[in-house]
C-alpha cells in the first residue's frame, strides 16, 4: 500500500502521509495541508476527522467491537470490577493483587472532601440539577489542591485517585442536597460502588442494606461507561487539557459536555419514552409504526449510534444484566417488557435494519438504574462517574505527549465581506 495519498488542487499535486493504527485503521495526515496549499478541510461535527492518536480504547462500529487497552469489553464485564478496569484504563495495565490493593487504598484515602467544600453546596438552590452541582464542585475542588497547578506530573497518581474517588462523594452529596437529606459520609470499609450506594441511600441512624446483586449491577454500569474513544465529552476533556488546564478543570468541562440530551442524557430520554408508551396503553407496536413516520414527530430513542452500525456490545451485556437483576431482586418492570418488545420488533423491521439502527447502551442502562432506585435526574451523573477513568486517561495522554499542541480548529467564514463602521446618527 502506498504510504502517501495524492491530492490535486488547482492542477498542483500534494503528497499527504498515510497513518495506520495498530488495528489497521487508516487516516490521511493533513496537518501540513494549509501551510502548503492554503486549503483546510471542512468536516462539520468531526465525523471523519481523527483528532488524536490514542492507546486507550478501540472501537469497530461496523463489527460491534469495543476494547479497553486491547481487552474485549465482554471479558472485562464478566471478570473484572470497575476499580480494576479503572486501573487498566488509567495505568495501562490490569493490576496484580498488590497493585489493586494499593490503588484501592489510594481511593479510600482520598474519598473525603475538604470540609469547607460543604459550604459551596449550601449556595445551590434545592432544585439545582445534580450535573450542574457535579461540574461546579469538581472545578471548585481544584482550589483545595494547589499542587494541581504546579506538580501535576509528579503527583498524577494521587490526583487521579482523588478525582476518581471524590466524584462519587460529590455526586452523592448533590443528590442528598436535591432531596433535602442530610449528608452521608463515605465509610473506609466499603468498596468503591458499595460506598456510593451507602452515601446515596443510607440514613444517619441506619445504613442501607447492601444487596450484592445491586452492587454488582451498578458496578457493571460504571465499567461499561469507563471509556468510549473520542466522544463529545472526552474530546472536550482533551481540548481543555491541551490548554494545560488542570485535571479537575478538564473533567468539569467533560461533565458539562456529557450533560447534553444527545450525549449522557440520552438514557433519561429513553425512560421518558418508555413511560409515555406505557401510560398510553400501547405495548410498543403503535410507537414503532409512528417512529417510521417522520411527520409523527416520534423517534425510537436508544437506537442508533454515531459510531456503531451494529448492535452496541454494551447494550447486549446490559440487557442480560437487567434480566439477571430483576430475577434476583424478584421484581418486574413494565418498562423493561416494553423495551424488549420494541427491540424485537425493530430488529425484524426492514426500516430499522436498512438504517443500521440497533440498541445502544442507553436503551437498557436507564432501566437498570431505575431498578436500583436511582432517580432519573441522577442517570447522567452515574454516567459521569463511570466515564471518569477514560477522561483521566485521555488527560494523561495529552499531558505526556511531547508534541501536543493547543487544540485550535479552523473554520470557513460565511459572514459579510469587508464592511465599515457607520456612525450612530447615520444608521
Catalytic residues: 305, 362
Which long-range contacts (C-beta less than 8 Å, at least 24 apart) are formed by 73-79? 73/224, 73/313, 73/314, 73/317, 74/313, 74/317, 76/223, 77/220, 77/223, 77/224, 77/317
CA 315 to chain centre: 15
Closest listed residue to residue 217, CA positions, set 323, 110, 331: 323
Contact 343, 363 (CB under 8 A): yes
Q: Please answer whether residues 282 and 274 qualify as being in contact, where contact means their C-beta atoms are separated by less than 8 angstroms.
A: no
The CA-CA-CA angle for residues 108, 227, 84, to 5°, reads: 40
CA 238, 239, 242: angle at the middle one, nearest 5?
Answer: 85
DSSP annotation of 80: -
Neighbours of 327 (CB within 10 A): 11
Decide: helix, strand or coil at residue 412: coil
Alpha-carbon Rg of the chain, whole angstroms? Answer: 24
Torsions phi, psi for 422 (to 5 deg): -120, 125
CA distance 250 to 211: 35
Q: Tell me the CA distances in angstroms from 48 to 4, 66, 230, 235, 260, one per residue in order.
A: 18, 19, 12, 14, 22
> Cα–Cα distances in Å, from 101 out to 97, 167, 186, 188, 222?
6, 20, 18, 13, 20
Residue among 248, 229, 88 nearest 155 (CA): 248
Q: Which residue has cell 452515601?
A: 199
DSSP string, 345-405: HHHH-HHHHHTT--B-HHHHHHHHHHHTT--GGGHHHHHHHHHHHHHHHHHHHHHH-TT--
Amino acid at each position: 500500500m502506498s504510504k502517501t495519498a495524492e491530492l490535486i488542487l488547482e492542477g498542483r499535486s500534494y503528497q499527504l502521509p498515510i497513518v495506520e493504527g495498530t488495528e489497521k485503521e487508516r487516516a490521511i495526515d493533513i496537518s501540513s495541508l494549509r501551510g502548503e496549499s492554503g486549503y483546510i478541510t471542512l468536516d462539520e461535527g468531526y465525523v471523519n476527522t481523527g483528532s488524536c492518536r490514542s492507546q486507550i480504547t478501540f472501537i469497530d462500529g461496523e463489527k460491534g467491537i469495543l476494547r479497553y487497552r486491547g481487552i474485549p469489553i465482554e471479558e472485562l464485564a464478566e471478570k473484572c470490577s470497575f476499580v480494576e478496569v479503572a486501573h487498566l484504563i488509567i495505568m495501562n495495565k490490569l493490576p496484580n493483587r498488590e497493585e489493586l490493593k494499593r490503588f484501592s487504598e489510594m481511593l479510600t484515602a482520598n474519598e473525603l472532601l475538604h470540609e469547607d467544600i460543604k459550604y459551596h453546596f449550601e449556595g445551590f438552590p434545592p432544585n439545582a440539577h445534580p450535573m450542574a452541582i457535579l461540574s461546579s464542585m469538581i472545578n471548585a475542588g481544584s482550589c483545595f489542591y494547589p499542587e494541581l497547578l504546579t506538580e501535576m506530573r509528579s503527583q498524577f497518581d494521587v490526583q487521579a485517585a482523588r478525582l476518581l474517588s471524590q466524584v462519587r462523594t460529590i455526586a452523592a452529596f448533590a443528590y442528598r442536597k436535591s432531596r433535602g437529606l442530610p449528608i452521608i459520609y463515605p465509610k473506609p470499609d466499603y468498596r468503591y460502588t458499595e460506598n456510593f450506594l451507602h452515601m446515596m441511600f443510607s440514613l444517619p441512624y441506619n445504613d442501607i442494606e447492601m444487596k450484592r446483586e445491586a452492587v454488582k449491577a451498578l458496578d457493571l454500569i460504571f465499567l461499561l461507561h469507563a471509556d468510549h474513544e473520542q466522544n463529545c465529552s472526552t474530546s472536550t476533556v482533551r481540548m481543555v487539557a491541551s490548554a494545560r488546564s488542570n485535571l479537575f478543570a478538564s473533567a468539569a468541562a467533560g461533565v458539562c459536555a456529557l450533560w447534553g440530551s444527545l450525549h449522557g442524557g440520552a438514557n433519561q430520554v429513553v425512560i421518558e419514552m418508555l413511560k409515555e408508551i406505557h401510560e398510553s396503553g400501547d405495548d410498543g407496536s403503535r410507537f414503532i409504526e409512528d417512529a417510521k413516520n417522520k411527520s409523527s414527530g416520534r423517534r425510537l430513542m436508544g437506537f442508533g449510534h454515531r459510531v456503531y452500525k451494529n448492535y452496541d456490545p454494551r447494550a447486549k451485556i446490559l440487557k442480560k444484566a437487567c434480566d439477571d437483576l430483576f430475577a434476583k431482586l424478584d421484581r418486574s418492570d413494565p418498562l423493561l417488557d416494553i423495551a424488549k418488545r420494541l427491540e424485537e420488533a425493530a430488529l425484524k423491521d426492514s426500516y430499522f435494519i436498512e438504517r443500521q439502527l440497533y440498541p445502544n447502551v442507553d436503551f437498557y442502562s436507564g432501566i437498570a438504574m431505575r431498578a436500583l432506585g436511582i432517580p432519573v435526574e441522577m442517570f447522567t451523573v452515574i454516567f459521569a462517574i463511570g466515564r471518569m477513568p477514560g477522561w483521566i486517561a485521555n488527560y494523561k495522554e495529552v499531558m505526556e505527549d511531547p508534541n501536543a499542541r493547543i487544540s485550535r480548529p479552523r473554520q470557513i467564514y460565511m459572514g459579510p465581506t469587508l464592511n465599515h463602521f457607520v456612525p450612530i446618527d447615520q444608521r
